[in-house]
């Protein structure tokens, strides 16, 4: 999948389901529940033990889904994610080696940024989208103001974004949101149900 095609798919889905789990097996189970609930784009955080195995398993078992790697902090983690089959890379910071690795292998990179200077630097270094992080602490009005001043930036607010406020962020100018936490806790049945409810809200 070409880089711009993946970005268009993320924007079309309007949401990235963020998976942080205690094991690769648990992460795979969460990802499958999110897909079954109608959320086609997920990222497996590299805080998950053996995250690469979860990414590979989800790519194999859910071929129609888009699976990325999250909490990618350096070039080594980025290469591991690429090797596992990740289709995009997300970082909590503007990490140049992550951006370079993504570019080298044709994957979109979403670096995290929290200030106008960081956002500008991310775009200058070739970010495909910018993860506004931590979005909950910054607030919807902050992003609305930044989006007005930098309308060329595709924002994906993450951190404190929930099913209840996701549409507020989208209305403020985000192209998509990153939702984890409350969405991915509990058993697979509950995760799928919450994913279905969020997917229905996003369609509206």
CB count in 10 Å sphere of residue 120: 15
- Residue 94 in contact with residue 13, Cβ under 8 Å? no
Q: What is the CATH number of domain 3-203?
A: 3.20.20.70
> pLDDT by residue (tens digit) across 20-36?
999 999 999 999 999 99
Ordered by start, the domain boundaries in the chain are 3-203
Which residues are catalytically annotated?
43, 131
Q: What is the pLDDT of residue 182?
A: 82
User: Coil, helix or strand for 162?
Assistant: coil
64-88 mean pLDDT: 98
User: Whole-angstrom Cα distance, residue 146 to residue 143?
Assistant: 5
Query: Using 50, 70 and 90 to split pLDDT, how confident is the model at 2?
Result: confident
**C-alpha to C-alpha distances, 174 to 161, 166, 198, nearest whole angstrom:** 12, 10, 16
């Amino acid at each position: 999948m070409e880089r711009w095609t993946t970005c268009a798919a993320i924007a079309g889905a309007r949401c990235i389901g963020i998976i942080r789990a205690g094991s690769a097996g648990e992460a795979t189970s969460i990802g499958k529940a999110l897909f079954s609930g109608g959320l086609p784009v997920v990222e497996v955080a590299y805080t998950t033990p053996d995250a690469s195995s979860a990414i590979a398993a989800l790519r194999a078992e859910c071929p129609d889904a888009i699976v990325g790697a999250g909490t990618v902090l350096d070039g080594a983690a980025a290469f591991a994610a690429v090797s596992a089959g990740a289709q995009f890379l997300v970082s909590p910071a503007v990490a140049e080696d992550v951006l370079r690795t993504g570019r080298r292998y044709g994957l979109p990179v979403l670096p995290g940024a929290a200030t106008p200077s960081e956002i500008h630097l991310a775009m200058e270094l070739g970010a495909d989208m910018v993860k506004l992080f931590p979005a909950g602490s910054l607030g919807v009005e902050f992003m609305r103001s930044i989006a007005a001043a930098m309308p060329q930036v595709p924002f994906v607010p993450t951190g404190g974004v929930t099913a209840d406020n996701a549409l507020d962020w989208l209305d403020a100018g985000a192209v998509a949101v990153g939702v984890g936490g409350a969405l991915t806790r509990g058993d697979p049945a509950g995760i799928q149900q919450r994913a279905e409810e969020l997917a229905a809200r996003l369609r509206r």
